Amino acid sequence: MKTIKEPARDIPVRAEADVLVVGGGPAGIMAAEAAAGDGLRVMLVESRGFLGGNLTIGLPILGFLGRKGNQIIEGSAQRFIDRLRARGAASEHRPCKNHMSLTIIDEEEVKRTALEIMEEKGVEVLLYTFFADAIREGDAVKGVVVESKAGREAILAKTVIDCTGDGDVAFRAGVECRKGDAEGGMQPPTLMFCMKGVDVQRLRDAIVGHPDVYDMDVMPPEQFRTGKFITVGLRTQIRQAQAAGYRIPVARTILITGLADDEIWVNMTRVSGVDSTRPESYTYGEIEGRKQIYEIARYLREFVPGFADARIEKVAPFMGIRESRVIVGRYVLTAEDIIACRRFGDAIAVAGYPVDIHHAKGGDCTMHFCDDSYDIPYRCLLPERVAGLLVAGRCSSMNHEAMASTRVMSTCMALGEAAGRAARLALKAGVQPADLDVEALRAELRATGAYLG
């Protein structure tokens, strides 16, 4: 590869923070909120012009409830939903056979509520600010380099929390990272879109009244009679469309009711081979995903009841990434831990979403359910041999199969809260996050409403 030599230069220090959160998605919002307090200066940098990340792409939040129907994600994540619900911008947590639970949210209210919380907590937010590099001295991260229209600047911090979803800070700090399965294959992303003008009652009646025609994947008919739902199935309709020449990238029709009565969000685009850490690959995914949207909408109008007069109302602001880089931390969570419902003495979150793998080369999904719920240990947030850094969200330390479970937004929110509280407590105690008394962290999580089993 051809290179040029960049001249050495002094980089101005924009700010010095106690805790710096990089990435304002589900984990980052919770981390910044939890870190604030005790007079600490907390900053949050986000590359987009809004906060929320995957909370804003039209997907419902899955997994607030466990396999037995009890609530296992609480604390700050639940308080966030409570605020949305007070504005009519979130549904109840509804049990769902495949997804443990389903919580519909309004993506625009997510952006508003997240910014309100940051303002209330005194968190300094910088939007349109891109992470460029980690500042490392010896074995410790001391801050980050950012790029914006103001140029290249540094933000120094006593503790950095990587909530980028791609492990960007950790990777640039030299932390060992991995991608995908044994062959490097990653779960394909989805570009969500919303259709309005859907006759949802007609869709309900078809699913409930004609199960022999509208085949649903292990979904009981009562799932669709009332309330919010996800359809997973209608395989016959896809086969009919494909026989008629339609190019449908998935084997199942996946439809999600919105907050409005005539609104359906569609989760059916898939672009295999996308690597969100490579801009040319991510760009290809966005372009191909937009092409797929119009073919899928055409299919729905022609083959699925209730869609004949529906129109595309909006498209997610960006493609939702299921998988990219993850760190190798002090503990690597595995699918065996999840399926065995393993308990850990240093658990800082409990999750219940199944191992749900959308295969890298396409085809059907593979799902493995646990009997109950499982723990996520604090060690999954701690990189090996690097101080001053916590990693929360889908890029925490998990293998390919385990990440297929913990990637859902509810779990990422719980991990973000744990990281934020750990950063604040460690600074208060004058120790590194890796040396924090985990029982003190667990006690605070419980005292502030988090569920630890």
Distances (CA, A) of 332 to 187, 277, 373: 19, 21, 18
Sequence letter at residue 98 = N
Cβ count within 10 A of residue 193: 25
- pLDDT tens column, 128-187: 999 999 999 999 999 999 999 999 999 999 999 999 999 999 999 999 999 999 999 999
- pLDDT tens column, 313-356: 999 999 999 999 999 999 999 999 999 999 999 999 999 988 88
- pLDDT tens column, 349-402: 999 988 888 888 887 778 788 888 999 999 999 999 999 999 999 999 999 999
- pLDDT tens column, 256-282: 999 999 999 999 999 999 999 999 999
The answer to whether residues 388 and 159 touch, using CB atoms and an 8 Å cutoff, is yes
Task: Write down how long the chain is.
Answer: 453
Mean pLDDT for the stretch of residues 196-221 = 86
Sequence letter at residue 240 = Q
pLDDT of amino acid 217: 78
Three-class SS state of 407: coil
| Distance from C-alpha of 200 to C-alpha of 198, rounded to nearest angstrom | 6
% the chain with pLDDT above 70: 100
42: exposed, middle or buried (C-beta count within 10 Å: 0-12, 13-18, 19+)? Answer: buried
Domains and CATH numbers, the chain: 13-183+323-447 (3.50.50.60), 193-315 (no CATH)
Q: For the chain, report the end-to-end CA distance as a whole number of angstroms.
A: 52
pLDDT of amino acid 24: 98
pLDDT of amino acid 210: 84
pTM of the model: 0.96
